Amino acid sequence: MMTNDYRSLVLAAGEKYRLVPIDVSFTEALTEAIHESRDELIRSVSWYYPEYSMEDARRWLQARERERFEGRAYDFAITEALSGELVGGCGINRIQAKNRQGNLYYWVRTSQTNQGAATAAAAA
């Protein structure tokens, strides 16, 4: 199980980005990023729907916090280093400690794609 030390962990992801443990403080920014990316999301993921709300985002973020506490996932916000703007998210989920396996994932909002955020996040 993780301690509260994880909440204060901030990782540099290259010079331009930071990885910050994601929590409910990102609810509004995440909702905005999801709606900005709606055209891409509707074609590529099953969970998106046009009425996706801040409450949906909050519930998802709370689930991320529970999974982190249980040691089943470690989720980060990808933010711009200077402005703190939410660029996307990344992490390791579906952790199987016994088998030493997990799933590395990333997502970048539409306006920030093809600028190296996912590559920098994965390398961090």
Reported as a single tens digit per residue, the pLDDT across 49-96 is: 999 999 999 999 999 999 999 989 999 999 999 999 999 999 999 999
* Dihedral sign of CA atoms 25, 112, 117, 63 in order: positive
d(CA 124, CA 79): 13
Element holding 96 (H helix, E strand): strand 86-96
Contact between 86 and 30 (Cβ < 8 Å): yes
pLDDT digits (tens, 9 = 90+) for 12-23: 667 899 999 999
d(CA 102, CA 96): 6
Domain ranges of the chain: 4-119
Residue 11, pLDDT score: 62
Superfamily of domain 4-119 in CATH is: Gcn5-related N-acetyltransferase (GNAT) (3.40.630.30)
List, in order, residues 6 or more apart from 122 with CB less than 8 Å away: 90, 104, 106
Q: Is residue 1 pLDDT above 50, yes or no?
A: no
